[in-house]
């Protein structure tokens, strides 16, 4: 009877240890999932169709501010070429995350832009009037710097979980690389086909 009681106590202890292990593992994985984003994968044609403006521009400065409980970093972009929509010579692009009021917030999938960086921006302006990058990093093509008359436009693959818009199944994002002239032609062709 004593031996049976010892084995029972051992069983309860081991079972409790495993339960604690799995609860801890689930909690940790839940924390990791909380710091991840799930994005709908957008093709280049999707971004061309869904954006309200597509511009080539240079980041000239930034500031961060609270909007409710969310911090946004607002980037000033000097527009050098307009592919779609109409904007002023300078557009302010809101990106979630940043530092304001001694608080720092980060959002998975949100790009960090450097002053002087040259990009092609696929922009979306909502009812609130705020202009954001469509699909977070998906709507941002970094342009190579230098004296190239036809710079290379690169959109790096997102590290975030991507879902196919039709099947809702996870898919792997891919880096897109093309010359600016080819990107310009793709945008013009898609917009021309949409107008017909």
Q: Encode the chain (196 residues) as per-residue pLDDT tens digits.
A: 443 444 434 333 333 433 443 333 334 344 443 445 566 778 899 999 999 999 999 999 999 999 989 999 999 999 999 999 987 899 999 999 999 989 999 998 899 899 999 999 999 998 888 999 998 899 999 999 776 789 999 998 888 787 877 788 888 888 999 999 999 999 999 998 765 4
Looking at residue 38, its pLDDT comes to 65
Whether the CA torsion 130, 91, 98, 46 is positive or negative: it is positive
Q: What are phi and psi of 7, to 5 degrees?
A: -65, -40
Whether the CA torsion 54, 55, 59, 60 is positive or negative: it is negative
Looking at residue 195, its pLDDT comes to 53
User: How many CB atoms are closer than 10 A to CB 30?
Assistant: 9
What is the rounded CA–CA span in Å between residue 29 and residue 23?
10
Q: Which residues of 4-14 are buried (b: 16+ CB within 10 A; e: fewer)?
A: eeeeeeeeeee
Task: Give the SS3 label for residue 64.
Answer: strand
Question: Tokens 């093309």 label which residue?
Answer: 178
Looking at residue 37, its pLDDT comes to 59
Please classify residue 183 by burial: count the beta carbons closer than 10 Å to its beta carbon, then call 0-12 exposed, 13-18 middle and 19+ buried: buried
Domains in the chain with CATH codes:
38-195 (2.40.50)
Q: What's the pTM?
A: 0.76
Looking at residue 72, its pLDDT comes to 96
* 76 neighbors 61 (Cβ within 8 angstroms): yes
What is the rounded CA–CA span in Å between residue 171 and residue 30?
21
Question: Tokens 């008359």 label which residue?
Answer: 149
* 104 neighbors 83 (Cβ within 8 angstroms): no
Write the CB contacts of 43 (distance below 8 Å, at least 6 apart in sequence): none
Looking at residue 14, its pLDDT comes to 36
* 57 neighbors 91 (Cβ within 8 angstroms): yes
């Amino acid at each position: 009877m004593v031996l049976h009681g010892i084995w029972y106590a051992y069983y309860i202890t081991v079972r409790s240890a495993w339960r604690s292990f799995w609860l801890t593992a689930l909690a940790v994985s839940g924390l990791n999932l909380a710091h991840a984003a799930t994005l709908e994968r957008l093709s280049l044609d999707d971004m061309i169709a869904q954006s309200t403006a597509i511009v080539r521009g240079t980041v000239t400065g930034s500031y961060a501010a609270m909007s409710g409980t969310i911090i946004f970093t607002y980037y000033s972009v000097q527009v050098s070429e307009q592919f779609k929509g109409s904007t002023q010579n300078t557009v302010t692009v809101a990106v979630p995350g940043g530092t304001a009021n001694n608080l720092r917030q980060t959002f998975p999938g949100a790009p960090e832009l450097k002053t002087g960086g040259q990009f092609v921006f696929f922009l979306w302006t909502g009812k609130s009037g705020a202009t954001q990058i469509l699909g977070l990093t998906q709507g941002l093509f970094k342009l190579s710097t230098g004296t190239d008359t036809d710079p290379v436009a690169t959109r790096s693959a997102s590290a975030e979980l991507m879902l196919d818009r039709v099947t809702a199944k996870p898919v792997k994002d891919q880096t897109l690389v093309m010359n600016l002239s080819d990107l310009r032609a793709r945008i013009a062709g898609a917009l021309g086909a949409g107008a017909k």
